[in-house]
Amino acid sequence: MKVLGISASPRAGGNTDILLDKALEGVKASGARVQKVILNTLKFSPCQECQNTRDDGTCIVEDDMQSVYKRIEETDIVILASPIFFGSLSAQAKMMIDRFQCIWRVKYMLKKDIFGRKKKGAFICVEASSREDFFNNAKSILKNFFATINAEYSQELFCMGVDEKGKILKYPHLLQKAFELGKSMV
């Protein structure tokens, strides 16, 4: 079984990364293979809503997103981790999701299934405030993304009131929840 962890935080080693790493530890403890993508280290542009699209679902823009498409296609489970920015996902997460417009178009407009087999998806999200509606905003976007890649929205971990880098380490129960989330996904 292959599991892909996607870090959508701009802050390396921050709370979102720490929680994702804990979830991936849980995945490894269950015997699955793990890959991690850190979106902030990739070189890719936002969706350009190209006029000359391909009918096979591949994006015509050649950049680091090509490896993300391939990894998602080959994986069984996707765990996306993002902080909340301005009431929703980080720019890194939204930019990646928007680049799946080529897949969305083929799936929903041309009625072709690019990814075929079903996957499972989980969402880890961290915010500094205590606004549940922010999580709901982010979750609605992620559910659309998961539907596009044939991933069932299976689990979530929402952490409120966590801002300073590394503050999540003061909440061992949340670290344990992240570990259990990863373990139970396999």
How much is the mean pLDDT over the chain?
A: 96
pLDDT higher than threshold 90 for residue 42: yes
The predicted structure's pLDDT at residue 49: 92
pLDDT higher than threshold 90 for residue 182: yes
State whether the Cα torsion 81-72-149-120 is positive or negative: negative
Hey, where are the domains in the chain?
A: 2-185
pLDDT higher than threshold 90 for residue 60: yes
Q: Which two tokens stand for residue 65?
A: 């997103």
Q: What is the pTM assigned to this prediction? A: 0.96
One-letter amino acid of 86? F
In this structure, the chain runs to a length of 186
Confidence of residue 77 (pLDDT cuts 50, 70, 90): very high
pLDDT higher than threshold 90 for residue 52: no
pLDDT in tens, 109-159: 999 988 888 999 999 999 999 999 999 999 999 999 999 999 999 999 999
pLDDT higher than threshold 90 for residue 181: yes
Class of domain 2-185: alpha beta
